[in-house]
Structures are given as C-alpha cells and as structure tokens.
Structure 1
C-alpha cells in the first residue's frame, strides 16, 4: 500500500505501529522507517527478538494444526495484527479450505492490510473492533455471519494479553470470550513473561513502556489465573518452544530465551 493510500485512510505513519514493528521483526515488508527504527532499537536491547517472534509464529502454527486435529473448523484470532506469512488462515486452509477464520484488530494499519490480503478469500475476514470489548467482536455482523458460536471455536490470543495491563482487567476479557463459546472450544494463548529473563529483556520491555502499547509480562501462575474456567491441556503453561514441538530438536537448549509462555486450553 502506498503512503498516499495510508493518508487517505487516516493511518499515522509518524509513530511506530506494533503490527508493523512485529512484521519487520518477522522479516516482512509491511513496515516503514519509523517502525524499523523502533524495531532496531528493540533488537539492539534484545538481539534475539527476531528469533523470539519466529518461535511464537511457529507455536501459532502448531496450535492451529492441533485445533484442526481436534475437529475445529472455526477460528477467532484476537488482536491478530497483519496477516503475514504463516498466519491462521494459511495454516488452516492448507488442511481444510472450508475452515472459517475471523481476524480481529483495532489498529487501522492491520485492518487495511488484512482487507487487501483477504479480499478474495471467502472463508477468512477481518473485523475492525477493539478486542477489549468482547461484545463488539462477538456481536459484529461479520463475526455472526462467519462463525456459529453454538459450535466449537478456537480463540487465538497470540501475544495479546500482555498488551492489557492489570487495571484493564484481562481476566474479565478472557472470561467474556470463554462464556460465549460452546463446550469443546479451545483457547490458544501466548504472552511475554518475566520468568528467567535477562537484563536485555527488561530493557526491551522498558522501551515498550514508553510507547503507546506498553507490555505487561506475566508469570505462568498469572496466565493460569487468566484462563480460569478452561482446562489447560498438556504440556501445561510452558515456554513457547516447549509447547508440543514438531521435533524435540526444535527446542533450544535454554527455552526461556524465547521470552514468552504458551498454553492451549479447552472449554468442557
């Protein structure tokens, strides 16, 4: 998309955007100088930030395949960002092209790119809504058109809850989605964590604290509390590469270096 098109849509190119920063760290091209400058500062503080982003994306793919193996054919991706390579619909449709995917984001840049990428895909759509207000997502006409909430759904919250500080009550948000789901639904969640982290991680987190999107890393116990009412499946709340790796050799010698925790839970 050209800068003129961004301007027409009212998208701010003067401030780093978390979706574009993440895209750059993943090696994508949907970013601008202001995003690359901020991302390079993060990479200077945390040199393995790119590897961390890739490990989270690999976990996301494993979680989606797991959902499909359990018979899930509906996916609701909360705080999805931009549909870069290996996003939910690509993984799901490689196995079942009829699987339905609803992405949700409130950032205009993510919405604009997603609408373009998904324009010809009748089974994957973007909903422009603030995921902190679950009713706005669940009662959105596009969500209601695409998803049957009387049937199991996998809700994806990849690196979402760590952008919700405690004072905005992330447990309330998670429980609202949980209550709307049919039994047999799943929740896939990952988050930054303070557990076993280096000084470099603390510096990177501090950089985000000065941005429009501060990060609240959470412990395994805190994540367990957020998913109260779900059954956390094996192997539990673990460092991201430890969650059902395709090959044990894929797990780094020090899994904590990934900087995040992951889980998949089921609503019974």
Structure 2
C-alpha cells in the first residue's frame, strides 16, 4: 500500500486512538471527531496531556539507557503511531549513529506519515512495515525486518502505549512471549502501559469513552504489567510510574510542587533484559 492509498483508506467518521494521542501531544494530525473524543477524555482526566508527555519522555530515556549502558544497537518498535519528533530512531542515533530501527504498525494512517520514520543517519538504517502485533509470526518474517535487523544480535522490543489496546482475549502475554522467544540473550523489552491503579472510577470512564468509539482497551494494574517481564532481568527501578523511571537530572531536580503526581501520570513503565 502506498501513502496515497493509505490516505484514501483513513476513516474520519469516528475517532482514532492514534489521532487522539496526537491531540494529547499538541500535534496537528487529527480531525474534529478525534478532538471531540480526546476532549471527552480530558474532561474526566485533565492530566491526560501529562500522561502522554510522560509516555514520550519515558521512551526517550529508555532508548538512551539501552544504547549507552547495555550496548543495544537495534530496535523493533511495534504500535508506532503517528510519528512525533524526535522519533525513537532519532533518539537512538543521537547516541549511536549506526542504530537500526524497524517500526511496525497496522494502521494506514501511520503509513501516510511513514516517510518521517525513514530519515536515518547515513550510518544507521530504518524501515517501516505494515504488520499487526496479533500476528507475531508474520511481523517477524517480514522481509523488510530481515533487511534491517539481525535477529542473531540483541534487539530492544519497544511496546510503548500499545498493550492497553490488546485485551486479555487477544492473549497479550502470549504475544509478548512469542516476540521475545526469537530474540537472543541481551535483548530488551521496554513497556509503557496506562493503569487505573491510582483512580479506578476515572479510568473506567476513559475505558467507556474508547470502547464507545470502537476501540477496545484494557488498562492494567502494576502486578499485571509486571507479568510482561516474567523471565527477564528488570532494570532498576523496576516497574514504576513513568516519570519515576530513571528521571533525567533536570527532571530529578525539579521543584516538588511542579512534578506530576502518580495519579496524573497513571502510566506503569519498565525495561527488562533477556538473560
């Protein structure tokens, strides 16, 4: 499918989770229907904008830590969403210019913007594949993936703000296990996942908004998010609220009143290494 075909296939009659996320981040790649649904969420959870920003910030920090401290040079980012700069490959290549990144998503909307994902350094490589996380075999066997990633060497599997869109009926733990099984020792898993732990009534309302818009969601507890890391060596500080995972010095030095609360962020995050 070409980007022009993708543009024709975009459904603007109902809200879309990726375009709603773009709205939360202050982007421009959304429509009125997405804005209306996003503002419904913001009405019950005004900190959704904080949550979205902290999710991006976690991805940046996790990528830098894996590149600097664990020798990771390859990433597989599934559930890419609408590109927002800096993209994962730009963060990775700012640390290691030869980093290789494959983005995967099954949404024609993302394909429309895929050229943004291909602006690699001369030393590195990037690719975009149209694939569904529910079909791990097809995703891992995509020729575009084999052209960029060497699955005989460590790969960071990046699943940011994806797994709460995979309900238990879709076997999210089995999906993650199948993806990790083909990756060698030294590979990594980075996950961010929205949670109802700090305010269950509000997150039930958010669940209802997404479900009524045609997007089933399942927000999970810390214990349930931690299950994704079974068999891995969790990096400190373990599965923790997004803004508390390896905060940058500037963030760590922020005045306490300005720091977001756990309830505002409502995002469990973690990074694990495959032994």
2:266 is the counterpart of 1:259: yes
Distance 1:213 1:98, change over 3 A: same
Secondary structure at 2:61 match in 1 = helix
Q: By how many angstroms is 1:267 displaced?
A: 0.2
Q: 2 CA distance for matches of 1:7 and 1:187?
A: 30
Whole-Å Cα distance in 2 between the matches of residues 123 and 66 of structure 1? Answer: 20
RMSD, aligned α-carbons: 1.9
Match of 1:107 in 2: 107
For residues 86 and 189 of structure 1, what CA distance do their matches in structure 2 show?
18
Instruction: Give the distance between the partners of 1:100 and 1:8, measured in 2 at CA.
Output: 27
Q: CA deviation at 1:96?
A: 2.3
Following superposition, the deviation at residue 202 of structure 1 comes to: 2.9
Q: Tell me if structure 2 keeps the 8 A contact 1:171–1:227.
A: no
Partner deviation per Cα, 1:62-113 (whole Å, 9 max, x = no partner): 0000110111110100111111122201211222222111111011101221
Query: CA 1:141/1:233 → structure 2, altered by over 3 Å: closer, same or farther?
Result: same
> Which residue of the partner structure matches residue 61 of structure 1?
60
1:40-119 paired onto structure 2 within 5 Å: 40-69=39-68, 70-114=70-114, 116-119=115-118
Distance 1:133 1:29, change over 3 A: same
- 2:112 and 2:219 map into 1 onto residues whose CA distance is 28
TM-score, normalization by structure 1: 0.92
Partner of 1:235: 237
Number of aligned residue pairs: give it: 264
Instruction: Report if aligned partners of 2:20, 2:30 keep a CA contact under 8 Å in 1.
Output: yes
Alpha carbons of structure 1 residues 152 and 104: separation in structure 2 relative to 1, 3 Å: same
Corresponding residue number in structure 1 for 2:31: 32
Shift of residue 32, structure 1, vs aligned partner = 1.5
Hey, what's the Cα distance between the residues in 2 that align with 1:118 and 1:48?
28
2:143 maps to what in 1?
141
Cα distance, 1:160–1:120 mapped onto 2, change above 3 Å: closer
Q: 3-state SS of the aligned residue for 2:203?
A: helix
TM-superposed deviation, 1:257: 2.1
Distance 1:241 1:44 in 2: 23
Shift of 1:135: 0.9
TM-score by length of 2: 0.90
The runs of 5 or more residues in structure 1 that have no matched partner are none
C-alpha separation between the residues in 1 aligned to 2:217 and 2:266? 12
| Kept in 2: contact 1:239–1:256 (CA 8 A) | no
Tell me how far apart the structure 1 counterparts of residues 9 and 264 of structure 2 sit (CA, whole Å).
Answer: 38
Give runs of aligned pairs for residues 218-229 of structure 1, distance below 5 A: 218-229=220-231
Instruction: Please state whether the residue corresponding to 1:9 is helix, strand or coil.
Output: helix
| Partners of 1:59 and 1:243 within 8 A in 2 | yes
Q: Is the 8 A contact 1:20 1:30 kept in 2?
A: yes
Residue number in structure 2 paired with 1:201: 203
